[in-house]
C-alpha cells in the first residue's frame, strides 16, 4: 500500500483552506487545515507533513514567523501563499527558508503542479542497484548527497531546504564552471517557476552562511555573469 503524502494548509480563511484541501485530496494527498500560526507550530510535530502551504497574513504569529520557527527544526518544504506580490515580500520569504512563493489568487492546477514539483525535488531518489552510494559529490570536508538529500560539512550534518541543496549540488558537480543566474534559475526552479534572478542570489547568500569558504574550494561570484564552485589547485 502506497503511503499518501501529507500537506498541512495554514490559512486563516477557512473557505480558501477548504478549497485547497479539496484540490489536493483529489490528487491523493492527505491534508490538515490549521487557521493560525501558533496552531501550525503545534500541529507540525503531531501531523509531520511532507509539505506546508503557508499563508503570510495570519492572526497573531504571521507566516514569516511560522517559517522561521519551523526552519529551526526541519527542512520540510514550504510554499508561501500571499496576496502581496512585491519583490521584497518574495525575497524575505525565500531568505527565511521558503522553497516557493505563490501569489493569490492562483490557479488550482498551478498550485497542484508546484506542490508536486517541490515534493519531487525533495523526495530522495531511489539509488540504482549498481550504484548503492547514489548521487553525490565529495570534496575535502564536504559531502553533498542528492540521493538522500544530505550535506555533511566539517564532519557535521547541515540541515538545508531542497532548493539550497540542489543548487549546491549542481554547482559542485561542475567545479570551476561558471553559470549565469538565468541558467541556475532554469535548472533548479524549472520552467514553471515565475520569478527573477534575485531568487538565485538569495539562495547563494543562505548557502554561504551555512557553508563557509574552504582553503581548497569556495562558492565564488563571477561579477557580471553569475556563480561557480571554485576548486583551488
| pLDDT tens for each residue of 56-99 | 888 888 999 999 999 888 889 999 998 877 787 778 888 888 89
Residue 191 in this model has a pLDDT that exceeds 70: no
| DSSP state for residue 210 in the 8-state scheme | H
The owner of cell 541558467 is 183
In the numeric block, the cell 487557521 is attached to 35
User: Does the pLDDT of residue 1 top 80, yes or no?
Assistant: no
Q: What pLDDT is attached to residue 79?
A: 94
Q: For residues 124 and 146, what is the distance between their CA atoms, to the nearest angstrom? A: 7
207-227 pLDDT, tens per residue?
999 999 899 999 999 998 999
Domains, the chain, with CATH or none: 6-122 (3.40.50.2300), 136-231 (1.10.10.10)
Q: Using CA atoms, how far apart are residues 14 and 129, in angstroms rounded to an integer? A: 46
* % of residues, the chain, pLDDT over 70: 91
The yes-or-no verdict on residue 131 having pLDDT over 70 is: no
Amino acid at each position: 500500500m502506497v503511503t499518501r503524502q501529507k500537506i498541512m494548509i495554514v490559512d486563516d480563511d477557512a473557505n480558501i483552506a477548504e478549497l485547497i484541501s479539496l484540490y489536493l485530496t483529489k490528487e491523493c494527498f492527505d491534508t490538515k487545515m490549521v487557521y493560525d500560526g501558533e496552531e501550525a507550530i503545534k500541529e507540525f510535530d503531531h501531523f509531520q507533513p511532507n509539505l506546508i502551504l503557508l499563508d503570510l497574513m495570519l492572526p497573531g504569529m504571521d507566516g514569516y514567523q511560522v517559517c522561521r520557527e519551523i526552519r529551526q527544526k526541519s527542512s520540510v518544504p514550504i510554499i508561501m501563499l500571499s496576496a502581496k506580490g512585491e519583490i521584497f515580500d518574495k525575497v524575505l520569504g525565500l531568505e527565511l527558508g521558503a522553497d516557493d512563493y505563490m501569489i493569490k489568487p492562483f490557479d488550482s492546477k498551478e498550485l497542484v503542479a508546484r506542490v508536486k514539483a517541490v515534493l519531487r525535488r525533495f523526495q530522495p531518489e531511489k539509488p540504482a542497484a549498481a550504484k548503492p552510494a547514489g548521487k553525490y559529490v565529495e570534496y575535502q570536508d564536504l559531502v553533498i548527497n542528492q540521493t538522500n538529500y544530505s550535506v555533511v560539512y566539517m564532519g557535521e550534518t547541515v540541515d538545508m531546504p531542497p532548493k539550497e541543496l540542489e543548487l549546491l549540488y549542481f554547482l559542485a558537480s561542475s567545479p570551476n564552471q561558471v553559470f549565469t543566474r538565468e541558467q541556475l534559475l532554469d535548472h533548479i526552479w524549472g520552467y514553471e517557476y515565475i520569478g527573477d534572478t534575485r531568487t538565485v542570489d538569495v539562495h547563494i547568500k543562505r548557502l554561504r552562511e551555512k557553508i563557509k569558504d574552504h582553503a581548497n574550494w569556495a562558492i565564488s561570484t563571477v561579477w557580471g555573469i553569475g556563480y561557480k564552485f571554485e576548486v583551488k589547485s
